[in-house]
């Protein structure tokens, strides 16, 4: 018992330089409610990894252990460019650990805290990558259950067309679903409840569409800088997920086309049947809604006119956006964003 305590909850500096299960710990990267993540050296393969040590109480929870083993294997079996590769998962001195690729960059939580709301093109680029990861997981029979900004890592992309590379991590590692269905002691830390789906709260079976809900909540926050529901305490928040309508995104982002509100209303629907079937379907709808807004937001440019002349077709007419209820023919939406989105958003 003393050993596991020293491994997990001792002062982080005590572990620096120590060897744990074939990894030499170099420095702490961060900690969540139930784990500490270190940058470490894999001494067998001589490579840098992220080593996650899970809280000892989790190793004592049989339900969690079973899920940990099952889902670590399942996650390790998925080879996807937007899922953090798991190298090894095991147990040492009563502590469960996972070794995975070290992602140099930032997680989306830090990114939002540092940079504020993402410009829509950036949000859509990151969302599309995460959506492809989630859909791939779902096709492999895995439900993530804990989609949140902290579980999305954003690294430098390959080139200016792909300024960021997003990775999804932490499959099946949520204690939330255990505690929400009564497996853990009341009062234990369960992490954020900002993105938890209504069916997770009521203990119904969850499928891919629970991730559509959580993922849509994350994308909503990327654009609005607040999650769909904000309440003073956890009970009120759980209630809101189950019974309240989320405020339309355009309340926070009046520059976006109102069509986005319907897309989020569907993804955040209380009943899974009313949501999009997949995360990519949600992103496709969102992209179309955002593009519709930017088309409506400006009258035809000289390029539009030139292209129309080249094609021998009449120049496109400007159709006012749906919010132009005055009939004055002048779009009410502000002009498109300056090209801040062209700059990469990752940063440590
Ligand atoms: N593979 C990884 N590479 C680099 N950093 C990571 C990796 N996995 C997790 N992290 C970082 O470690 C921190 C703690 O992660 P975690 O314990 O899962 O907490 P949470 O997900 O609640 O933020 C996060 O801030 C994340 O940025
Ligand atoms: Mg995490």
Taking 60 as the threshold, does the pLDDT of residue 321 lie above it? Answer: no
Higher pLDDT, 317 or 61: 61
Please name the residue whose Cα sits nearest to atom 20 of ligand 1.
32
146 CA: nearest ligand 1 atom? 21
The percentage of the chain sitting over the pLDDT mark of 70, rounded to a whole number, equals: 74
Q: How far is the CA of 344 from the centre of ligand 2 (A)?
A: 23
Taking 50 as the threshold, does the pLDDT of residue 3 lie above it? Answer: no
pLDDT at 10: 56
Q: Which of 42, 146, 170, 261 is catalytic?
A: 146
103 CA: nearest ligand 1 atom? 3
pTM, two decimal places: 0.81
Q: Are 178 and 166 in contact, with CB atoms under 8 Å apart?
A: no
pLDDT at 342: 36
Among 63-67, 93-97, 108-112, 156-160, the range with the most confident prediction by mean pLDDT is: 108-112
DSSP for 57-84, written as a single string: HHHT-HHHHHHHHHHHHHHHH---TTBP
Taking 90 as the threshold, does the pLDDT of residue 134 lie above it? Answer: yes
Neighbour count for residue 5 (Cβ, 10 Å): 13
Q: How far is the CA of 39 from the centre of ligand 1 (A)?
A: 10
- Write down the mean pLDDT value for the chain: 82
pLDDT at 301: 57
CA 207/CA 217 separation, integer angstroms? 16
For residue 102, give the DSSP letter. -
What's the pLDDT band for 325 if we cut at 50, 70, 90?
very low
Taking 50 as the threshold, does the pLDDT of residue 131 lie above it? Answer: yes
Q: How far is the CA of 44 from the centre of ligand 2 (A)?
A: 25
Q: How far is the CA of 227 from the centre of ligand 2 (A)?
A: 18
Counting ligand 1 atoms within 8 A of each CB, the residue from 23, 31, 36, 37 with the most, and so the one to mutate, is 37
Strands of the chain, DSSP E = 19-20, 23-31, 35-42, 47-54, 86-92, 95-101, 105-107, 152-159, 162-168
Residues with C-beta atoms within 5 A of ion ligand 2: 151, 170
Higher pLDDT, 94 or 272: 272
Counting ligand 1 atoms within 8 A of each CB, the residue from 107, 111, 168 with the most, and so the one to mutate, is 107
Q: How far is the CA of 221 from the centre of ligand 1 (A)?
A: 19
pLDDT per position as a tens digit, 295-313: 554 555 555 555 556 555 5
Q: Is 146 a catalytic residue?
A: yes
pLDDT per position as a tens digit, 13-55: 678 999 999 999 999 999 887 889 999 999 999 999 999 998 8
Strand order in the sheet with 105-107: 105-107, 152-159, 162-168
Per mean pLDDT, which range of 137-151, 190-204, 301-315 is the poorest? 301-315
Taking 50 as the threshold, does the pLDDT of residue 165 lie above it? Answer: yes
Taking 90 as the threshold, does the pLDDT of residue 252 lie above it? Answer: yes
pLDDT at 194: 96
34 CA: nearest ligand 1 atom? 17
Taking 90 as the threshold, does the pLDDT of residue 101 lie above it? Answer: yes
Closest-lying ligand to the alpha carbon of 32? 1
107 CA: nearest ligand 1 atom? 27
Q: Is 52 annotated as a binding residue?
A: yes
Higher pLDDT, 187 or 264: 264
Higher pLDDT, 40 or 333: 40
Taking 80 as the threshold, does the pLDDT of residue 151 lie above it? Answer: yes
What's the pLDDT band for 224 if we cut at 50, 70, 90?
very high
pLDDT at 293: 66
- H/E element holding 284? helix 279-296
Taking 80 as the threshold, does the pLDDT of residue 2 lie above it? Answer: no
Q: Which residues line ligand 1 (CB under 6 A)?
A: 29-33, 35, 37, 50, 84, 100-103, 107, 150-151, 153, 169-170, 191
């Amino acid at each position: 018992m003393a050993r596991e305590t020293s491994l997990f909850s001792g002062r982080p500096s005590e572990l620096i330089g120590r060897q744990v299960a074939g990894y030499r710990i170099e420095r702490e990267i961060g900690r969540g409610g139930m784990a500490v993540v270190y940058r470490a050296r894999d001494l067998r393969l001589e490579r840098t990894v992220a080593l996650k040590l899970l809280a000892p109480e989790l190793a004592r929870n049989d339900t969690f252990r079973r899920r940990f083993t099952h889902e670590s294997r399942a996650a390790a079996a998925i080879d996807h460019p937007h899922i953090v590769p798991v190298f090894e998962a095991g147990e040492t001195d009563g502590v469960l650990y996972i070794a995975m690729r070290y992602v140099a960059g930032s997680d989306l939580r830090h990114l939002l805290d540092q940079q504020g709301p993402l410009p829509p093109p950036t949000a859509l680029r990151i969302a599309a990558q995460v959506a492809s990861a989630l859909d791939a997981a779902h096709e492999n029979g895995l439900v993530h259950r804990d989609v949140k900004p902290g579980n999305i890592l954003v690294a430098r992309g390959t080139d200016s067309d792909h300024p960021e590379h997003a990775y999804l991590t932490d499959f099946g590692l949520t204690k939330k679903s255990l505690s929400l269905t009564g497996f853990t002691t009341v009062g234990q830390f369960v992490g954020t409840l900002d993105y938890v789906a209504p069916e997770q709260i009521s203990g119904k079976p969850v499928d891919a569409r629970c991730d559509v809900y959580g993922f849509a909540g994350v994308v909503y926050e990327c654009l609005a800088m607040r999650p769909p529901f904000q309440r003073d305490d956890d009970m009120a928040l759980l209630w809101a997920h189950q019974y309240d309508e989320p405020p339309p995104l355009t309340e926070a982002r009046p520059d976006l086309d109102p069509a986005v509100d319907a897309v989020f209303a569907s993804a955040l629907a209380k009943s899974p049947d009313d949501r999009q079937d997949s995360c990519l379907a949600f992103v496709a709808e969102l992209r179309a809604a955002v593009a519709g807004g930017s088309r409506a937001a400006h009258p035809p440019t000289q390029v539009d006119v030139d292209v129309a002349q080249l094609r021998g077709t009449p120049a496109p007419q400007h159709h006012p956006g749906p919010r132009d209820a005055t009939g004055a023919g002048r779009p009410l939406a502000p002009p498109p964003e300056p090209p801040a989105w062209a700059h990469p958003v990752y940063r440590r």
